[in-house]
Amino acid sequence: MLMTDYFSLPGLVVLLFGACIGSFLNVCIYRIPENKSIVFPGSFCPNCNKSIPFYCNVPILSYIFLRGRCKFCKQPISIRYPLIEVLTGLFAISLFHKFGLTPAMIYWFVFISILITISFIDIDHQIIPDIISLPGILIFASSFYFLPEMTIKDTLLGILAGGGSLYAIAFFYYLLRKQEGMGGGDIKLLAMIGAATGIKGVAFTIFAGSLFGTLFGILIMLYTKMADTKNLRIPFGPFLSVGAILYIFYGKQLIQWYLMMVGS
The residue out of 101, 135, 160 marking a domain boundary is 101
User: Does 126 share its domain with 84?
Assistant: no
Task: Divide the 264 residues of the chain into consecutive groups of 10 and give the mean pLDDT of each group.
Answer: 64 94 96 92 86 89 93 93 97 95 96 98 95 96 93 94 80 65 82 96 94 88 64 85 97 87 73
pLDDT of residue 231: 60
pTM over 0.85: yes
Q: Is residue 94 part of a domain?
A: yes
pLDDT for position 78: 93
Q: How many domains does the chain have?
A: 2
Q: Tell me, yes or no, whether 124 and 94 share the same domain.
A: no
Q: Are residues 34 and 142 in the same domain?
A: no
- Co-location of 17 and 135 in the same domain: no
- Same domain (yes/no): 92, 123: no
Verify that 1 and 65 share a domain, yes or no. yes
Taking the C-alpha atoms of residue 179 and residue 220, their distance in angstroms, rounded to an integer, is: 22
Q: Structural domain of residue 54, as residue ranges?
A: 1-101
The answer on 230 and 127 residing in a single domain is: yes
pLDDT at 46: 85
To 5 degrees, how large is the angle CA 37–CA 42–CA 48?
Answer: 105
DSSP structure string for 168-201 = HHHHHHHHHHSS--S-HHHHHHHHHHHHHHHHHH
Longest dimension (CA), the chain: 64
The pLDDT of residue 47 is 87
Domain boundary among 101, 133, 160: 101
| Among 79, 101, 123, residue at a domain's last position | 101
- For residue 22, give the nearest of 92, 71, 96, 97 by alpha carbon: 92
Alpha carbons 102 and 252: distance in angstroms, whole number: 20
pLDDT of residue 199: 94
Domain membership of residue 58 (yes or no) is yes
Residue 107 falls inside a structural domain: no
Residue 108 in domain = no
pLDDT at 49: 86
